[in-house]
Structure 1
Amino acid sequence: MRGGSTRGGSIRGGALLSSAARGVASLRGAVVGGAVRGGKMPGRSIRTGATRSRVAVPVLTGLALGLGLASCGGAPPAPREYPRLEDESVEPAPESIAREPLRDAPLVVAQPSSDPVVTFRVAFEAGSASDPAGYEGVTRLAAELMAGGGAGALSYAELSRALYPMAGRISAHVERDMTVFVGQVHRDHADAFYALFRDVLLQPRMSEEDFGRVRDQQRDALVVSLRSADDEELGKQALQTLMYEGHPYAHPALGTEAALARVRVDDVRAQRARVFCAGRSIVGIAGDYPAPLAERLRSDISQLTSAQCVGRRVLPAPPDVERRRVLIVRKPEAQSVAVSMGFPIDVQRDDPDYPALVLVAAWLGQHRQFIGRLMQQIRGERGLNYGDYAYAEHFTQEGWSTFPLPNVARRQQHFSIWLRPLRPETAHFAIRLAIRELTQLVEGGMDQEELDRVRAFADRYYALFLQTSSRRLGFAMDDAYYGVDAAYLERLRQAWRALTPETLNAAIRRHLSPERLQIACVASDAEQLAQALATDAESPITYRSEVSAAVLAEDRDIVAYPLQIPRDRIRIQPVDTLF
């Protein structure tokens, strides 16, 4: 997927959309019901590595929920038997799991306006990190089966036909820590549409027939689309596997091929009952909706509670990696090299340093904008690829836009750099160039002129993130998740105005560590790339068009820039064994 947006399926006027995502002022919504929180509860937070979470309580469970993912290199583990998720009588060796308590009620964000399109967003603090070991992908299957199957008295086909005349849409998207269901319809049909949307959430049929279709689609998305046809997204997911090795974030929301073959419809039903609960929910409504509808939404979602509901497990800290390491996914048919690199950081949206890092990422590589230093140097000056970007937090592009998708919040975050695919003969050089630019930023900092330039850009550009009522609602729900008081753009602008080069550069030095970069590549000749990286061999560069004398002079330093990654810190994995 261009931009890396892998959205879930949806019912839209009778058509199932199962691949790409759909989809200027800051507007705060009213937040009611429950305590406003997200990764941290004021005064009650605990920290495990980069984790902020509610106070944890130990829970004894018969189902091991720890991640059973093999390391990136070496032979896969021997097959093991897993208990059926719905079989409460199965008692493997018990595991004590620290869990966060469920809230007493959903958080509610209401944003009434004159917009004729009414938007419903219901987010659950459950994603692929909630997948039990051996059932990777089951949370996404549950969401897809709800959004892309029958509900209430209607079959999938009947539900599609009911939505068609009102031009209504129901979709789902699953990330590591969050699943969001989105419904949109014209205000004239708000009540009739809501009855259908409610059934999708509260009374999904989750039939065997729909399950077979949805599971086949998810397997194809993993095996055919991700592994075979989307090297950009494959590289990003490989980076997640590397950064979070042995961690619940390690596998993609799509799951693993082995787990998808194992899972049955009863497992999916059981997972829905465990994680799509009122005590994990944030519900939102925006637009020109009938006044009673917000209360109906809150009341209905409050019904999602049962003895099966469990709180989120407390995340372990990400692996503590102090030196660079590389994962190369060997894909013989790859015609280019996809590169993603990054490292976990202990900064979320409620952190005082978050606005500074957002500005730093914009200066280094704002997504699909030429303001970024990497974009200027790698594409603009040298023409090596299409784009080069940097991110201060996990980023998923919304559809074909240039903007981040809301409601993809995480409890643990990372800083990352994405180099869009490069010709194999230029990949080593481009990796060196990107790491050199990051190192120079950390060591030299940003001066007043550059700070003023990027601040003026961001002050205007980030307002575009909030162009629609649906996006404003999504960002307000994220504010509730993270437990912050000021609205997203308002908070950023206020903090940016107060930044000086000294405070900005201090934040850079606190959180950005080029020596900790973990690098994921997708390449056909993995061994050659590994050898070049390990030996720090020079990476001479030739251009297909004329470049300036200044660029050629700088290249003489870049071609031999030391990366210092020994061979034992470089792993190669065949693409068909990844996920």
Structure 2
Amino acid sequence: MAKLAKLQFSAPAWLASFMVVALMLFSSISQASVKIESWMTEQGAKVMYVHSPQLPMLDIEVTFDAGSIRDGDDFGLASFTASLVGTATKTQSEDQIADGFNKIGAQFGGSASRDNASFSLRTLTRDGVMQAAFEQYLDALTQAQFKPEIIERERERLLLGIKQKSVKPQQILNDQLWANLYPNHPYAHPTIGTEATVAKLDQAKLEQFYQSHYLANNAVIAIVGNIDKKQAEKMAQQLSSSLPTGEKPAALAKPKALAKAQSISKEFPSSQTYYSLTQLGIERGNKDYVPLFVGNHLFGGSGFGSYLMEEVREKRGLVYSVYSYFAPMKQNGPFIIGLSTKNASAKEAEQVVQQTLKDFLNDFSEERLQAIKDNLIGGWPLRMDSNSKILGYISMIGFYGMPLDYLEWFPEQIKKVTKQDILDAWNRQIQPDKMLTIMVGQPE
């Protein structure tokens, strides 16, 4: 899922130019296998490490179980907290922190999603740069302060963003999707909160959330770059020992699937109708993920190679784009089909989508399946052709408890998956007669 509350200090132009050249070099190197090493720090943080010596770069990401699922009734608390980390510390002001990163060409970013909050560092590994960047990162992340004047400034910015959602039909649809697909569940509310809840977030609540969730034993530390394991161990231990330890959050409740089909229509003054057909999907680690993933590329996830694009756009010209995807999360994330079309063709597009799904659950071309599998397997190395991509994968593997050989195991499973495996998995997981339909616009 897209992450919110993004905080980013950018590198200067010279580093950007270097990165373009460096990534071109890195992309030319075969990434047939990625060796992931993992261990626990003394304080209980899980470390994921990949030695990547091709470039003089270091990427670090620390991920906490501190997403909006931990908001309680204070919707937006996790996102607001994440957006303020890096704006002040015990010894540095906001300007000093930003200048500290910019002077050495390092990048710091922070964001929060429904499941977690994560904070990244990217720096060169050359002498005099890496250590300074790491120390700045360590201070910004582990010694965060929440200044009242910054809180109020950022609150105004956040409230403005929430208000702007009311004039964006895509955002209206998205909020309706989560609220109605996950009633009475922590996934239901918007990650950034609502006007009413954000207005009530104060310094005490932000500090309490930071102190109770940004814990060493509630963290995954991912490290990728041109440093050896001894250096990685030292950095991980410094990060871990600079964070407190405490009680980890309770396990997340499992959401309940819809008992019957539901339909929601929201009037919006637009020439387009925004449409979604959705239901609960699967959680991370579900045994059906590979056949669902491969099948989705054939059904709606591969652009012009998909059945949805063929039926809705190519044959009938009803849309510019139509898509589908599974979003596995800590618990069952959504399966979503989405499109936008002229108001006059909204009902027809809906009928075509529903029929295409029913047809796919019954049968599909074996030849087209093989073409999708060949494409996925052939393109697999490109999913790991940069340190940042590898960092994203190993952060995910560590946070969701996936096996260390996941990046080698997954393409092998794609090779093995059969048409019958896909039909079985899709018919186990997808129930077309119990889905949520949402339209935002003026469908005729």
2:173 to 228, 231, 235: 235
Displacement of 1:26 after TM fit? 4.7
Deviates more, 1:192-201 or 1:336-345: 336-345
- Residue 357 of structure 1 corresponds to 292
Which residue identity lines up with residue 106 of structure 1 in the other structure?
A
2:106 to 158, 168, 172: 168
The aligned runs of 1:297-446 (5 Å cut-off) are 297-303=235-241, 306=244, 309-331=246-268, 333-345=269-281, 347-366=282-301, 369-394=303-328, 409-419=329-339, 421-442=340-361, 444-446=362-364
Residues in 2 aligned to 1:301 and 1:252: alpha-carbon distance in whole angstroms: 30
Judge conservation of contact 2:265–2:440 (CA < 8 Å) in 1: yes
- Residue 27 of structure 2 corresponds to none
Displacement of 1:160 after TM fit? 1.1
User: Measured at CA, do residues 378 and 487 of structure 1 come closer, stay the same or move farther in structure 2, by a change above 3 Å?
Assistant: farther
TM-score if structure 2 supplies the norm length?
0.88
Deviates more, 1:151-160 or 1:256-265: 151-160
Displacement of 1:166 after TM fit? 1.8
Judge conservation of contact 2:36–2:404 (CA < 8 Å) in 1: no
The aligned runs of 1:477-488 (5 Å cut-off) are 477-488=395-406
Judge conservation of contact 2:38–2:46 (CA < 8 Å) in 1: yes
Judge conservation of contact 1:116–1:287 (CA < 8 Å) in 2: yes
Which residue identity lines up with residue 414 of structure 1 in the other structure?
P
Judge conservation of contact 1:476–1:488 (CA < 8 Å) in 2: no
The runs of 5 or more residues in structure 2 that have no matched partner are 14-22, 24-30
Residues in 1 aligned to 2:233 and 2:179: alpha-carbon distance in whole angstroms: 41
Q: What CA deviation, in whole Å up to 9, does each residue of 1:160-183 have, x standing for no partner?
A: 112112221111121111111111
Q: What CA deviation, in whole Å up to 9, does each residue of 1:133-162 have, x standing for no partner?
A: 1x1001111111003x12242111111112
- Residue 37 of structure 2 corresponds to 30
Displacement of 1:127 after TM fit? 0.4
Displacement of 1:343 after TM fit? 1.0
2:80 to 141, 144, 167: 141
Displacement of 1:201 after TM fit? 1.3
Does 2:47 align with 1:108?
yes
Which residue identity lines up with residue 211 of structure 1 in the other structure?
I
Residues in 2 aligned to 1:182 and 1:152: alpha-carbon distance in whole angstroms: 20
RMSD of Structure 2 on Structure 1 (CA): 2.5
Which residue identity lines up with residue 317 of structure 1 in the other structure?
K
SS across alignment from 2:60? strand
SS across alignment from 2:6? coil
1:515 to 424, 433, 443: 433
Judge conservation of contact 1:29–1:473 (CA < 8 Å) in 2: no
Q: What CA deviation, in whole Å up to 9, does each residue of 1:90-113 have, x standing for no partner?
A: xxxxxxxxxxxxx96111011121
The aligned runs of 1:463-474 (5 Å cut-off) are 463-474=381-392
Residues in 1 aligned to 2:154 and 2:350: alpha-carbon distance in whole angstroms: 38
User: Measured at CA, do residues 359 and 187 of structure 1 come closer, stay the same or move farther in structure 2, by a change above 3 Å?
Assistant: same
User: Measured at CA, do residues 489 and 370 of structure 1 come closer, stay the same or move farther in structure 2, by a change above 3 Å?
Assistant: farther
Residues in 1 aligned to 2:374 and 2:170: alpha-carbon distance in whole angstroms: 30
Judge conservation of contact 2:322–2:338 (CA < 8 Å) in 1: yes
Displacement of 1:206 after TM fit? 1.5
1:223 to 153, 156, 163: 163
Which residue identity lines up with residue 448 of structure 1 in the other structure?
E
Residues in 2 aligned to 1:109 and 1:210: alpha-carbon distance in whole angstroms: 33
Aligned residues: 425
Displacement of 1:13 after TM fit? 4.4
Residues in 1 aligned to 2:38 and 2:50: alpha-carbon distance in whole angstroms: 9
Residues in 2 aligned to 1:220 and 1:440: alpha-carbon distance in whole angstroms: 44
SS across alignment from 2:379? helix
Which residue identity lines up with residue 467 of structure 1 in the other structure?
D
Does 2:396 align with 1:456?
no
Which residue identity lines up with residue 342 of structure 2 in the other structure?
R
Judge conservation of contact 1:462–1:489 (CA < 8 Å) in 2: no
Which residue identity lines up with residue 458 of structure 1 in the other structure?
L
Q: What CA deviation, in whole Å up to 9, does each residue of 1:299-325 have, x standing for no partner?
A: 233236657x44223333323313211
Residues in 2 aligned to 1:513 and 1:324: alpha-carbon distance in whole angstroms: 9
- Residue 203 of structure 1 corresponds to 143
User: Measured at CA, do residues 111 and 342 of structure 1 come closer, stay the same or move farther in structure 2, by a change above 3 Å?
Assistant: same
SS across alignment from 1:8? strand
Does 2:441 align with 1:504?
no
TM-score if structure 1 supplies the norm length?
0.69
Residues in 2 aligned to 1:328 and 1:387: alpha-carbon distance in whole angstroms: 21
- Residue 9 of structure 1 corresponds to 7
Which residue identity lines up with residue 137 of structure 1 in the other structure?
G
Which residue identity lines up with residue 293 of structure 2 in the other structure?
V
User: Measured at CA, do residues 482 and 4 of structure 1 come closer, stay the same or move farther in structure 2, by a change above 3 Å?
Assistant: closer
Deviates more, 1:469-478 or 1:211-220: 211-220
User: Measured at CA, do residues 278 and 306 of structure 1 come closer, stay the same or move farther in structure 2, by a change above 3 Å?
Assistant: closer
More helix by percentage: 2
User: Between the two proteins, what is the percent identity of the paired residues?
Assistant: 20
SS across alignment from 2:85? helix
Judge conservation of contact 1:143–1:172 (CA < 8 Å) in 2: yes
Does 2:116 align with 1:178?
yes
SS across alignment from 2:293? helix
- Residue 187 of structure 2 corresponds to 249
Displacement of 1:439 after TM fit? 1.1
The aligned runs of 1:532-571 (5 Å cut-off) are none
The aligned runs of 1:151-162 (5 Å cut-off) are 151-162=89-100
User: Measured at CA, do residues 299 and 5 of structure 1 come closer, stay the same or move farther in structure 2, by a change above 3 Å?
Assistant: closer
User: Measured at CA, do residues 336 and 509 of structure 1 come closer, stay the same or move farther in structure 2, by a change above 3 Å?
Assistant: same
Deviates more, 1:293-302 or 1:167-176: 293-302
SS across alignment from 2:320? coil
Judge conservation of contact 1:143–1:174 (CA < 8 Å) in 2: yes
Residues in 1 aligned to 2:109 and 2:157: alpha-carbon distance in whole angstroms: 15
Residues in 2 aligned to 1:473 and 1:122: alpha-carbon distance in whole angstroms: 10
Displacement of 1:4 after TM fit? 5.9
Judge conservation of contact 2:2–2:113 (CA < 8 Å) in 1: no
Judge conservation of contact 2:72–2:186 (CA < 8 Å) in 1: no
The runs of 5 or more residues in structure 1 that have no matched partner are 16-22, 35-102, 395-408, 533-579
User: Measured at CA, do residues 7 and 452 of structure 1 come closer, stay the same or move farther in structure 2, by a change above 3 Å?
Assistant: farther
Which residue identity lines up with residue 501 of structure 1 in the other structure?
K
Residues in 2 aligned to 1:413 and 1:28: alpha-carbon distance in whole angstroms: 29
Residues in 2 aligned to 1:162 and 1:104: alpha-carbon distance in whole angstroms: 28
